[in-house]
Structure formats: structure tokens, C-alpha cells
């Protein structure tokens, strides 16, 4: 289990770094361009890793990946919609805790039985996700209830991504990620073309976008390997702590201030990792 904890924690750090770069890129280019091009970069990486990492082709794994990619991309679209119509301080933690809780519930329902110490770590991690994702209060916007429901659906999409990926046979290596990236990329490009959005990045942002896509795929690889060494209910909740690394990067790279509630969330995240990593966990 220690291996799974290390891999899942590393996955969270890499995911958070990818999100940080993605956020930097969206300040220079349109969202659809950032998402589509970063996912294309991730696809190139996973195709390059196929001959190197163990695992053979499986149609079943590809189908699980295709499904995961679709629900993950749908979750992303819904998340952006919720942010556009609702209050960020409500939308972000709602989506985050839903995406973290869903794989935990799925794991417990399907027979996983973490040690009580690890269960305490799971609870602390869910609290950490809420605190870390908490933004400064803003003026309440119209349609707050509908945006809350959309945020729940977005979180379910993110959580569904992790659940579906975990269903692919372990012997298939990275093929589920190929399927996931193909379907999500196709969906994002289709939505962009339908809505008339350009996929051309602005000057100077392509490197950042490519970096975000490569790191995002690297995190996906770490997630799959971590899942092979531990329970979904533990691995997924550790991975969901990725906003902590995004916050820390924003603090030390961009000089952004962390609110007291977010610092508390980071402390809870570290405590959650420690509880899950304990021998009894």
C-alpha cells in the first residue's frame, strides 16, 4: 500500500502542476484551444510510452478508456459552465468533493475495506479538498441553484473518469489512456468547431499548453500504476488533493496570497496522506 500512496501523492502533485500551467495558458489563449492542444500533446506522450511500458492491446481496455474520456470531457465542459453561471466559492469545492467522494463510495460498495485509520484519512482528505478549493466570497450570482447542480454533475464526470479507467484490465498497460484521450479530444474539438471557437493558440503560449498536456498525461499514467498497487477508494482520494500543489505554485511562482482556510486545507491534506500511509492504514 505504501507504493500506492507514494504514486498517488506524486500523481496529485503532477496533476496540480498541469492545472497550474493550464491556468497560465488560459490567460493567453482561449479555453478550447488550451484544452484541445494540451490533450493532443498528452496523446502524443501516451503513444510514445506504449512500446516502453508493459501491457498489451485490449479492445476492452480501449472501450473503458473511451467511456472514461467522454465522461471526463463532459465533466470539464459542465465545470466551466458552472463557473460561468455560478459562484466560484461554491462551484469549485462542490465539484472537487464530488469527484473525490464518488470513487470512494464506489470502492466501498464494490467490496473495498480500508483500515479505520485509512478511513479517517479519507474523511480528512475530503475536508481538505473543500477547504483548498474554497475561494474568497463573492457577490451571489443568479442561478446559484442550477449552477450547484451543474457543479455536482461536473464532479460526477471527474469521479466517473477515475472509476471507468480503473475498470480496465491491469495487463493492458496504457491502452485505456489512449482510448480516453481519443474520445475526449474528439469531443472537445467537435464542441469547439460547432461553437465556432478557434483552436489556434496565441503567441508564446504553445509551450505552456504542451507542458500542461504532457504533465496531465504523466499524472494519468501515475494514477493507473497506483491503482494497480492499492484500493481505488484510497488512491482516488489522494489524487483528488491535486489543488494543493496548484495553490502552492500560485503562491511561490506568482506571489498569490493563500487564505487562512486554504492553508488549513493544505495542512489537512498532509495529515490525510500521513494517515493513509500509516502501516495500519
66-111 residue pLDDT tens: 999 999 999 888 887 786 677 766 777 888 889 889 999 999 999 9
Closest CA to 163 of 113, 88, 106, 216: 106
Compute CA 64 distance to the chain's CA centroid, rounded to the nearest angstrom. 17
232-258 residue pLDDT tens: 999 999 999 988 898 899 889 888 888
Domain range for 97: 2-277
Closest CA to 166 of 56, 44, 67, 277: 67
Q: Enter the C-alpha cell of residue 118.
A: 485509512
Closest CA to 7 of 228, 163, 175: 228
Share of the chain above pLDDT 90, in %: 57
How many domains does the chain divide into?
Answer: 1
pLDDT of 14 reads: 96
Contact (CB, 8 A) for 168 and 58:
yes
Distant-in-sequence contacts of 109-112, Cβ < 8 A, 24+ apart: 112/231, 112/232, 112/233
Mean pLDDT of 157-181: 93
Tell me how far apart the alpha carbons of residues 91 and 85 are, in angstroms, rounded to a whole number.
9
Residue pointed to by grid coordinates 475530503: 126
pLDDT of 136 reads: 65
206-225 residue pLDDT tens: 999 999 999 999 999 999 99
Using 50, 70 and 90 to split pLDDT, how confident is the model at 1? Answer: low
Amino acid at each position: 500500500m505504501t507504493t500506492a500512496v507514494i504514486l498517488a501523492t506524486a500523481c496529485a502533485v503532477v496533476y496540480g502542476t498541469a492545472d497550474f500551467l493550464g491556468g497560465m495558458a488560459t490567460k493567453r489563449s482561449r479555453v478550447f484551444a488550451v484544452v484541445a492542444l494540451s490533450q493532443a500533446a498528452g496523446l502524443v506522450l501516451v503513444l510514445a510510452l506504449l512500446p516502453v511500458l508493459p501491457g498489451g492491446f485490449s479492445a476492452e481496455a480501449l472501450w473503458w478508456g473511451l467511456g472514461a474520456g467522454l465522461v471526463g470531457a463532459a465533466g470539464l465542459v459542465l465545470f466551466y459552465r458552472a463557473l460561468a453561471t455560478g459562484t466560484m466559492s461554491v462551484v469549485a469545492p462542490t465539484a472537487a468533493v464530488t469527484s473525490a467522494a464518488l470513487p470512494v463510495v464506489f470502492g466501498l460498495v464494490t467490496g473495498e475495506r480500508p483500515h479505520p485509520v485509512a478511513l479517517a484519512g479519507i474523511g480528512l482528505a475530503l475536508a481538505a479538498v473543500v477547504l483548498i478549493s474554497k475561494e474568497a466570497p463573492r457577490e451571489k450570482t443568479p442561478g446559484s441553484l442550477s449552477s450547484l447542480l451543474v457543479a455536482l454533475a461536473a464532479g460526477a464526470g471527474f469521479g466517473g473518469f477515475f472509476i471507468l479507467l480503473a475498470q480496465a484490465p491491469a495487463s493492458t498497460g496504457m491502452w485505456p489512456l489512449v482510448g480516453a484521450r481519443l474520445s475526449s479530444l474528439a469531443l472537445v474539438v467537435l464542441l469547439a468547431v460547432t461553437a465556432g471557437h478557434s483552436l489556434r493558440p496565441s503567441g508564446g503560449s504553445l509551450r505552456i499548453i504542451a507542458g500542461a498536456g504532457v504533465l496531465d498525461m504523466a499524472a494519468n499514467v501515475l494514477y493507473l500504476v497506483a491503482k494497480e498497487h492499492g484500493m481505488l477508494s484510497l488512491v482516488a482520494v489522494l489524487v483528488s488533493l491535486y489543488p494543493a500543489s496548484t495553490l502552492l505554485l500560485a503562491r511561490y511562482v506568482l506571489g498569490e496570497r493563500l487564505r487562512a482556510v486554504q492553508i488549513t486545507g493544505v495542512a489537512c491534506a498532509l495529515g490525510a496522506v500521513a494517515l493513509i500511509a500509516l502501516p495500519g492504514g
